[in-house]
Amino acid sequence: MAKIKTSFFCQNCGAQSPKWQGKCPSCGEWNTYVEEVIQKEENSRGSWKQSAPAVKKASQPKRLKEIHFEEQARLATGDAELDRVLGGGIVAGSLILIGGEPGIGKSTLMLQIALMLNQVKVLYVSGEESENQIKMRAERMNRFSDNCYVLAETNTQQIFQQVEQLQPELLVIDSIQTLHSQYVESAAGSVSQVRECTAELMKFAKETGTPVFLIGHITKDGAIAGPKILEHMVDTVLQFEGDRHLSYRILRTSKNRFGSTNELGIYEMHTEGLKGVNNPSEILMTQREELLNGVAIGAMLEGNRPLLIEIQSLVSPATYGTPQRSSTGHDAKRLNMLLAVLEKRGGMRLGQQDVFLNIAGGLRVDDPGLDLAVCASLISSYEDSPVDPKSCFAGEVGLGGEIRAINRIESRIAEAAKMGFEKIIVSRYAVKGVDLSKFPIKVMAVTKLEEMYKHLFI
């Protein structure tokens, strides 16, 4: 009997070592090495086909200008939000990984897409749910398709046998952590299994031109479970975010070889599935019957998409010891910088005040164009006076208290006008050369925080 070959793998980054180590030399994490059987067979390992691969001629280098390239048509899913995030649709032969918390709606979204593509043959492979459970979900969504096939299987070799017979045009795997290959002798979800199964699916996608969606679990830290190499192997990484106890979901991309990584998709969860939100500015601004202190509306850009979001802040005297500085959805270091500017340039005594900042809607923002809205919200809470509800803000604040120009100011102004605002405060340097008469909104151009203060309150 041949000796079983084993090795040690880091569960965080996938690094391999012949012996156990307490600290991974690659990623620096402690107690992440586990022992696994590295292979069972050598002859067919890594091939998605059962038969031996054909002999191929060795590749030869070519000049870049000699390479013939044709723009491939993307497959439109019919979901405007997903198509926007992917860069216009699904690219043939692409490998797309979508991750998110349990219950966030990953399986619902993928089944919904499979049922919407009526003219495309789709194979939905589930390793977590039975066929009856998937049928119940489809009936609840009230969607049906004659070209959607369901397979409850976790063995990759069995899956590829069915794929060869069915010849699907789109493959969905739910989830990659449940699959296991017979060429690796470790448990499903381990570093070796995830890497091997992903490699087989990637080879299948590239050789046949069939796009493949992989649903992935995440760890308690929010990262996709499995080795980090998983994210390097795939073409696109999508992150499904949001509070599963609330109705809104946010789909963003952290990696995309075929499009921008700055796009954002917003969904609303209903009983019959996920519905795309065409005008997210409406849901990101709370409808209030009375004026509140510490609330300001900022015009931001998420990729190429202008959004109006609500900034909420609370400034109150510190009761115990060191004042607290807490921000949800906003960079804490940038908040501290803006507080220092307000104290130094604006004369506000914030050194003994607790400051809490929240971005409504569960968004995480990093657009410097929200600095002006954040300052307006902080001043409103500190002065205990509400901001004019028909005003919004768009501008970056410098260390000298100056209001700096930001990009695509016309898109922000147009979005504010569309949402019914009567006034927007921006930097004077951002509107140079811009014809403001074409906007049905009053544009207040300022250069310093002192000028903004005059237009701030009712």
**% of the chain with per-residue pLDDT over 90:** 45
Q: What is the mean pLDDT of residues 281-289?
A: 70
Which pLDDT band, with edges at 50, 70 and 90, does 170 fall under?
very high
Residue 254 covered by a domain: yes
- Same domain for 327 and 387: yes
- Same domain for 290 and 273: no
* DSSP structure class, residue 90: B
Residue 61 covered by a domain: no
What range does the domain containing 430 cover?
283-456
- Same domain for 291 and 368: yes
Which pLDDT band, with edges at 50, 70 and 90, does 42 fall under?
very low
pLDDT, tens digit, for every residue of 209-261? Answer: 999 999 998 876 667 766 677 888 899 999 888 766 667 888 888 899 988 88
Domain's final residue, options 218, 251, 277: 277
Residue 245 confidence (pLDDT) = 64
Residue 57 covered by a domain: no
| Claim: this prediction has a pTM higher than 0.95 | no
CATH of the domain at 448: 3.30.230.10
Residue 74 has pLDDT above 80, yes or no: yes
CATH of the domain at 98: 3.40.50.300
Residue 152 covered by a domain: yes
Residue 41 has pLDDT above 50, yes or no: no
Residue 259 confidence (pLDDT) = 85
- Same domain for 32 and 171: no
- Same domain for 322 and 256: no
Mean pLDDT, the chain, as a whole number? 86
Residue 140 has pLDDT above 60, yes or no: yes
Find the DSSP H helices in 6-67.
none
Domain's final residue, options 255, 277, 299: 277
- Same domain for 252 and 127: yes
Question: Is residue 18 part of an annotated ligand binding site?
Answer: no
Residue 442 covered by a domain: yes
Question: Is residue 104 part of an annotated ligand binding site?
Answer: yes
For 343, the enclosing helix (H) or strand (E) is: helix 332-345
- Same domain for 376 and 287: yes
- Same domain for 133 and 263: yes
- Same domain for 296 and 220: no
Residue 43 confidence (pLDDT) = 43
- Same domain for 200 and 91: yes
- Same domain for 139 and 27: no
Which pLDDT band, with edges at 50, 70 and 90, does 54 fall under?
very low
Residue 97 covered by a domain: yes
Q: What is the mean pLDDT of residues 20-38?
A: 84
> CA-based angle 46:51:57, to the nearest 5?
75
Residue 158 covered by a domain: yes
Question: Is residue 389 part of an annotated ligand binding site?
Answer: no
Question: Is residue 102 part of an annotated ligand binding site?
Answer: yes
Least confident of 31-35, 135-139, 309-313: 31-35
Q: What is the mean pLDDT of residues 276-299?
A: 81
Q: Which residue is listed with tokens 């004042």? A: 323
- Same domain for 317 and 174: no
Residue 53 covered by a domain: no
Quote the number of domains for the chain: 3
Question: Is residue 101 part of an annotated ligand binding site?
Answer: yes
Question: Is residue 100 part of an annotated ligand binding site?
Answer: yes
Cα distances from 228 to residues 18, 30, 172, 181, 191, in angstroms, run 20, 16, 21, 19, 9
